[in-house]
Structure 1
Amino acid sequence: MTKNMKQKSLTAKTIDLRIALFATVLVAGALLLTAQAHAAALDQFKSFVSSTQSARGEFTQQLVKVDSGTTKVSNKSTGTFTFARPGKFIWTYQKPYEQLLQADGEKLYIYDKDLNQVTIKKLGDALGSSPAAILFGSNDLEKNFTLKEAGTKNGLEWLEATPKAKDTTFDHIGIGLRNGAPEAMELRDSFGQVSLLSFTKFEKNPPLPANQFKFAVPKGADVFQ
């Protein structure tokens, strides 16, 4: 992919989707790792709210489409993340190309290394009513989402979260776990697309430097606000 083609592909919709995916992964990972091995998925979700203030780990993300009975997997990306409530995070895409989403509690910084370009947004405006609001908001989960147990599938216990608002990115969010640890996520949008997410090396409440989330604009980068 050329630099110009890549620049065109990084639309506002793509960025908003990545923000939503980021927050949902962190919510699921942290809540599941705080639970007992055989606790119900909903109990694990509520345990996260009360016990997890920060976390870090690694993620894999890919898009799945079903066309004429054939399943197609595309747009695979991997990277790392760190977060601390309220409203602070570092979400780094490492492959297939590098991109950084970082928030300091007030502003969101989106940095594309290849383009040496930084876009700055107000954090509240950027997150809106997406699943990210779960992580950075009041954590009154059942105010914004309908939560229910979704049974067992492929050896995993599932929790389903359905947004009560009609203007969110995802229609349904599924979280799969085994022995108290997250192994899979399914995020379904209104177009029938499914984003699959998995994460590893999840560390709950790690010690973080006071300036961990302070963003420094790279030398020579173009800045847009």
Structure 2
Amino acid sequence: MKKNQTMRLSRLKQFAVLAAFISFPLLAGASGIEQFKNFLANTKSARGEFAQVQVKQEAEGKLRMGTPAMGTFLFSKPGKFIWTYKKPYEQVLQADGKTLYIYDKDLNQVTTKKLGSALGASPAAILFGSTDIEKNFRLAENGTRDGLEWMEATPKDKENTFQRINIGMQNNVPVAMELHDAMGQLSLIKFTKFEKNPALKADTFKFVMPKGADLFEN
């Protein structure tokens, strides 16, 4: 088989995998960037649920989906969030605006990092960071696909872990993300039950150290 034919088949397989994980009714709306900027301007906090899966490309262009991870998220801008994995393992990523706490329940271990260096131009910065998204990312339209209006965010820092991040928008809410890292791996995230601007208590994002947990500071 010729090289170009192989590449086309590989892309078709990738689209099939994405469609299997992300499926929405075919509705069109404002452009991806327009909806995303509306989301940034009008969303100070949000909560909901997510499903995440990693897609690996193996020999001969075959794609393999990993075990889906599921959980909940809660955030308040700028820089406050709780990202909780419930399946297949329990882990919490929590930030109070200054410090990022990573809690592994199985190990009963907490690792901390300064939020500034940890957030930067990461995928979390897009949803949980400041509204000045174009400070760290270049934005471009990425067409209509799977009933969503897509935009692409490319980190300006060439040494970033991620090469590009695609965001699928619907009704001014992000409902899907495709994270392409520097190693050629793809992670897919689907958001559901997305509630904008819920009322939150002042101490919602204060991290409470689990009893007996080991602490590691970075």
TM > 0.5 between the two?
yes
Which of structures 1 and 2 has the bigger CA Rg?
A: 2
Residue 102 (structure 2) pairs with residue 118 (structure 1): no
Alignment of 1:1-225 (within 5 A): 38-67=29-58, 68-178=60-170, 180-225=172-217
Structure 1 window deviating more from structure 2 (81-90 vs 112-121): it is 112-121
Q: Aligned with 1:119: secondary structure?
A: strand
CA contact (8 A) 1:86 1:135 kept: no
% identical aligned pairs: 64
TM-score by length of 1: 0.77
TM-score by length of 2: 0.80
- Alpha-carbon distance between aligned partners in 2 of 1:214 and 1:179, rounded to the nearest angstrom: 31
- Alpha-carbon distance between aligned partners in 1 of 2:143 and 2:154, rounded to the nearest angstrom: 15
Structural RMSD (CA): 2.0
CA contact (8 A) 1:59 1:198 kept: yes
- Alpha-carbon distance between aligned partners in 1 of 2:52 and 2:146, rounded to the nearest angstrom: 19
CA contact (8 A) 2:99 2:112 kept: yes
Q: Aligned with 1:44: secondary structure?
A: helix
Unaligned runs of 5+ in 2: 1-27
Q: Aligned with 2:163: secondary structure?
A: strand
Which residue type is aligned with residue 179 of structure 2? L
CA contact (8 A) 1:38 1:180 kept: no
State the partner residue of 2:25: none
Which residue type is aligned with residue 126 of structure 1? A
Unaligned runs of 5+ in 1: 1-36
Q: Aligned with 2:41: secondary structure?
A: helix
| Matched length | 190
